[in-house]
Chain A
Amino acid sequence: MKIKVNNKTIEANNGETILDALNREGIKVPTLCHLKNMMPTGACRMCVVEDVNSGKLITSCSSPVYEGLEVNTHSARVNESRKTIVELLLSNHPDDCLYCVRNGNCELQGLSEELSITERRIRGRKNKQPLDRSSASIVRDPEKCILCGRCVRICEEVMGVACIDFVQRGNQTVVGTAFDKGLNTSSCVNCGQCIMVCPTGALTEKNHFAEIKQALQNPEIKVAIQYAPSISISIAEEFGMEPGLDINGIMNAAIRKIGFDYVFDTSFGADLTIMEESSELIHRILNKGKLPLITSCCPGWVKYAEEFAPDFIDNISSCKSPQQMTGAVIKSYFIDKENIPQDKLYSVAIMPCTAKKFEGQREEMTQNGISDVDAVLTTREFVKFIKMYGIDIHNLNAEVANNPLGSRTSAGKLFGTTGGVAEAAIRTAHYKLTGKELIEFKITALRDFKNRKETKIQIGDLELGVAVVNGLANAKKLLDEIREGRSDIHFIEIMACPGGCVGGGGQPIKMDEEAIRIRAKSLYNIDDKESIKVSHKNPDVQKLYADFLEEPLSAKSHELLHTHYQKREVII
């Protein structure tokens, strides 16, 4: 059908909202509470447009198009309304932009600039709320919250956790947990997706700069750092380079320039994880162990299972995550080799994830009371670190990571995207069971961007059932099917975050689905070009077993690289 926008006729489709039609035409209308692919709530009123026929202001996010519709998107009346609404928000918002984590990347700041708000026309009392710093991963600052509700909806609809909701009423409304308790006692799984959709600094990650800087400055401490597979392809755009560009080598150089002593790649740990986990899978298949085997590398999923699906705890792999395996190996094998006393090595990890901060300090992830990993930085924090230390990314030469924990196969690299862990595991499991490599390494059935993918792989006589799911609400659906009796799946990869780790809660905040796809594509490109595509062919991993661990699932492996989880009593 045809509608008129700002006196120009444009095409519109039956059943779509005015906002959809406007976006397609490239006409930008400001929004705050809008979340793509979710039902509009009509809470912020920012997207109002003037309906010429009725003379009223209507919200474009929720109003459907109809034949004969005529709207003005930026009339004086509409502009004044939007400006007043933002001014009202600002009148109840802390005035500390310069000290805020989201300075420069805040939607409220952006709107204030777009609407040309240059004076304080509205003043009044501001709500006083305490900070919630109880969680290991996420910090809540209710004074900065504009009650858009995005976090509530993400937590409920995409994660199926719903640890937060609107509490109280009117101007006393806050987003809170049950009984207003700290986030750490709630059912929060630390996935950080709430941070990814928060338009202001109301939700941020726990910051660990201070302790890391202290370690760096201490001449007696050696600082080791590892970075997740997603990191090298997620930060280029933060420095003005092409999105998705793999700057692994430059990144190594940057890290050394900051002052880290040893640079490692978590993808090495991923290869190691595959060695252990594929053996575990085969062991369970051959010995009628608990199936399906479910991955354990996502700490958001693990906490979810402990709270919401304790009946699946025994299904979860006993393997630690690549971050933790790498950390454990650093603090045993590596320091032995280099003769570094254990208390003189500080281990940091860069992750696209906030839950990893929680994972790092878990009791299950310690050896004799010492954490495998001492501190975790999100991708966002890492980018800030680089800028803080004045590193000029554009003028660095590529370097290689330290050995022996610096080499990786592309199978390890695939961990960063949804379906990647499964692909890597299948490649090695096939070899272990048949002695032969897969003819086609690329398992395209697991490569599309859907929330749930399944496939069957023929490995000799065995038809291996594999399922991959991302977004915990989707995971629940699959788990329910298994509870109902489904038995054709042997291996499940569960990632809490939509798209897998490339869309993790620690990644740069953008509200752009396309960015996540570009990162995943980048990982697949690396896999295409890589010569060693299977974890079991990683020479350093082979050496690690030969020198130290003996073989997968050995006593030594179990001691360092495996752990157990148990039911968590929280209010859900």
Chain B
Amino acid sequence: MNSTKQYIIEEILSNPRKDFSNVDLVKELKRELITKPVIFIGTGTCGLGAGADKTMIAVKTYLKATKIEADIIETGCIGLCSSEPLMDVQLPGHNRVCFENATADKVEDILDSILKAKSEVKEQSVLCQFKSKENHKWDGIPDINDLAFFKPQFRIVLKNCGIVNPISIDEYIASGGYTGFLNLIKTKNSEEVCDLVEKSGLRGRGGGGFLTGKKWKFALNTSAEQKYLICNADEGDPGAFMDRAVIEGDPHRLIEGMAIAAYGIGATKSYVYIRAEYPLAIKRLNIALQQAREYGLLGDNVFGSNVNFEIKVKTGAGAFVCGEETALINSIEGKRGMPRPRPPFPAVSGLFGKPTIINNVESLSNLPFIIKEGEDKFAAIGTEKSKGTKVFALSGKITKTGLVEIPMGTSVREVLFDIAGGVPNNKKFKSVQIGGPSGGCITEQNLDIPIEYESLIEVGAMMGSGGLVVMDEDTCMVDVAKFFMDFIQRESCGKCIPCREGTRRMLEILEDITHKPHHNGKHEALRRFKGVTQLERLGKVIKETSLCGLGQTAPNPVLSTIKWFREEYEEHIFERKCSANVCTELRVFTIDVDACTGCTICAKKCPTDAIIGSRKAPHFIVDDKCIACGTCFDVCKFNAITIS
């Protein structure tokens, strides 16, 4: 065992209440004191997608060429995805500096600018610096906490993401990790742990919003010779990637959170159910778990206590419905991921028939803070009924895409416009979808509502997992409803009739509204209008009778868009028009007889032979055959085709 590890295990972990923050070794691990330059590259999935791997190669090439010795640390996502790849450089004695959009071609300039700097870093891609007590400040570079994107955030779950080396257990412990858990098992029993978590007000962050501590008590109070904890890392909501970021950026936080939860309910075995589409997260999690085992934090008789605890990783196989608790359990058991009727609830009879608690990644990642800083401190954040913070994933028509963690009670407007920079390209904001396929949309008039569980439900939306997809004037809300219903239809497990058949009919009605034919007989208009009434009727039955949360919330996006954007529906139905120009089949193509030269190219290319005309004579598009694909428009060299 090397001396660092030995010190950590024998001193820090064995004395969890003692403060080691002034020990040199700890300061080195926290990188408050360094002896040579450190280069941090954000290699989470977002970073890699933006080219961080090429950045890494460029950095290595640079260092070799300049013969400069520096450490390269791969971190996770700090949350500012629109600025990826992000590269930080910390010189001994100086604050760490962050550079945005650090693609491979810019590496040389960036590194030149800082490695050869004196007191200023003159580089366009400088974003911010990270202040620290021990080190010199750089002139002219804003502090990260002064940036509009970061200032209003309160980072509990994302605290280390993008900052630390995710697969260094030493770093995690140096900043206080795992000692909260070790102290807890020495000083409190399971019942007390459930109490304090309940007191903190932490509610399920996967969307359910149930009081976590209260849920734990159901399992704690059911006697069984085996209990299970499951971490739900299936994160299937399109538009949600916060769980991925936590696991890629700070897996030890999750592991500590799981250890705390398992102790609270008396579980000795647990699973992380993580979706297969997250290979990097799976890899880093496995490394972190192995480290935790080597340090004696997992296994039998953890640090001399009578706590036994082990974690296994199970990969999902591509089914959104497996994010639902009982479907997840079935999936782990090797069955089709179809939900079970409740009662019995998993807390009483779950995995293999034993009491099982399923918590979301974000819920679990809040626990180390609650245990270390105290439940009152957590309860002091947020609002009366929604305590703590929430991580949101921002995407769509928004300037700064990425992850933010804000105290509950922050208004939607503040998140979108103050933090994330509003809608780009001078487009008008239309709505923001919150809660994914289970949620609804928030419009201009509701932007000032505080983000909390109840207030969102009041306007027909839902917290969900925290995905915020922003839409502007170029988004068609009917198309959005159709998109979500299509998603639900593909992911529905098919077990219960209302969801399987009902959402299919709802999707067909939406398709009817957005597809040809685009002229309107009286009957067609009436039929489509009846379709909207049918949507509301079906939606109600599906919500009330579906077997699981997927079906019960499936109608939400449709009902929400009908509520707030009824005029768009009516425009599609009665005027057969899509103002946002998204519903392509509603477009009408006409050939301008004056401009048309009769070259016949469009007629030849038309996939449905909808264009007639002879050479050198003006051509004509037969409306009934036209599928509005736009090919003729693309190929016409004479601009003779107009779209309305």
Contact = CB atoms under 8 A, between A and B. Distances in A.
* A–B contact, 8 Å CB criterion (strictly below): yes
Interface of A: 40-45, 48, 56-57, 59, 61-64, 77, 80-81, 84-85, 88-89, 91-92, 121-122, 124-125, 146-147, 166, 168-173
Contact of A91 (B319, B491, B493, B501): B501
Interface stretch (B280-288, B335-343, B398-406, B560-568): B335-343
Given A84-B538, A170-B491, 16 more contacts: A41-B341, A41-B495, A43-B547, A77-B544, A81-B544, A81-B545, A88-B498, A89-B497, A91-B505, A124-B504, A124-B505, A166-B494, A168-B494, A170-B489, A170-B490, A173-B500
A395 B341 CA distance: 53
Interface string B597-623: 000000000000000000000000000
B494 A89 contact: no
A168 B502 CA distance: 18
Contacts of B338: 166
A92 B501 contact: yes
B492 A48 contact: no
Nearest to A48: B545
B541 A170 contact: no
B331 interface: no
24 contacts: A40-B341, A41-B495, A43-B496, A64-B343, A80-B541, A84-B537, A84-B541, A85-B541, A88-B498, A89-B497, A89-B501, A91-B501, A91-B505, A121-B534, A122-B505, A122-B534, A122-B538, A125-B508, A166-B338, A169-B492, A170-B491, A170-B493, A171-B492, A173-B494
A85 B491 contact: no
A181 to B, nearest CB: 19
Contacts of B496: 42-45
B433 interface: no
Interface in B97-111: none
A170 B501 contact: no
Q: How large is the interface on B (under 10, 10 to 19, 20 to 34, 35 or more residues)?
A: 20 to 34
Nearest to B544: A57
A171 B489 contact: yes
Contacts of A81: 541, 544-545
B363 interface: no
A59 B341 CA distance: 8
Nearest to B341: A42
Nearest 4 CB-CB pairs, A to B? A42-B341, A173-B494, A62-B341, A88-B501
Contacts of A56: 544
B553 interface: no
B542 to A, nearest CB: 9
Residue among A42, A92, A147 facing the most chain B CB atoms (10 A cut-off)? A42
Contacts, number: 95
Interface string B152-177: 00000000000000000000000000
Contacts of A147: 494-495, 500
Nearest to A44: B497
Contact of A42 (B502, B505, B541, B547): B547
Contacts of A122: 505, 534, 538
Contact of B500 (A41, A62, A84, A170): A170
Nearest to B337: A169
B438 interface: no
Interface in B53-108: none
A42 B546 CA distance: 10
A159 to B, nearest CB: 19
Nearest to A77: B544
Given A48-B545, A84-B537, A84-B541, A43 B497 contact: yes
Contacts of B319: 169
B24 to A, nearest CB: 57
A147 B497 CA distance: 9
Contacts of A62: 341-343
The secondary-structure label for the interface of chain A is: loop
Nearest to B512: A124
A517 B433 CA distance: 60
A274 to B, nearest CB: 46
B276 to A, nearest CB: 16
Nearest to A166: B336
A547 B341 CA distance: 66
A43 B545 contact: no
Given A42-B547, A48-B545, A88 B492 contact: no
Contacts of B498: 45, 84-85, 88
B299 to A, nearest CB: 37
Contacts of B497: 43-45, 85, 88-89, 146
A385 B494 CA distance: 39
Contacts of B494: 147, 166, 168-173
Nearest to B548: A42
Nearest to B503: A171
Nearest to A121: B534
Interface in B321-356: 336, 338, 340-343
Nearest to A167: B336
Interface string B479-518: 0000000000111111111101110110010000000000
Interface string B27-52: 00000000000000000000000000
B489 A42 contact: no
Interface in B534-593: 534, 537-538, 541, 544-547
Nearest to B494: A173
A169 B538 CA distance: 21
Nearest to A172: B494
B501 A171 contact: yes
Contacts of B502: 84, 88
Given A124-B505, A172-B494, A85 B500 contact: no
A43 B495 contact: yes
Contacts of A57: 544-545
Contacts of A91: 501, 505
A26 to B, nearest CB: 24
A63 B345 CA distance: 11
A241 B195 CA distance: 68
A530 to B, nearest CB: 50
A147 to B, nearest CB: 7
Nearest to B507: A124
A171 B341 contact: no
A43 B547 CA distance: 7
A91 B506 CA distance: 12
A134 to B, nearest CB: 25
A91 B505 CA distance: 9
Interface centre among B342, B501, B537 (most CB of A within 10 A): B501
A212 B541 CA distance: 49
A124 B495 CA distance: 19
Contacts of A173: 494, 500
A124 B503 CA distance: 11
B421 to A, nearest CB: 38
Contacts of B341: 40-42, 59, 61-63
A124 B508 contact: yes
A44 B319 CA distance: 21
A45 B342 CA distance: 13
Nearest to B490: A170
Contacts of B508: 124-125
Contacts of A92: 501, 504
Nearest to B500: A171
Contact of A45 (B340, B504, B538, B546): B546
Contacts of A85: 497-498, 541, 545
Contacts of B534: 121-122
Given A45-B496, A169-B319, A63 B501 contact: no
A40 B340 CA distance: 9
Interface string B436-466: 0000000000000000000000000000000
A409 B493 CA distance: 55
A173 B496 CA distance: 11
B340 A42 contact: yes
A59 B545 CA distance: 8
Contacts of A84: 498, 502, 537-538, 541
B337 to A, nearest CB: 9
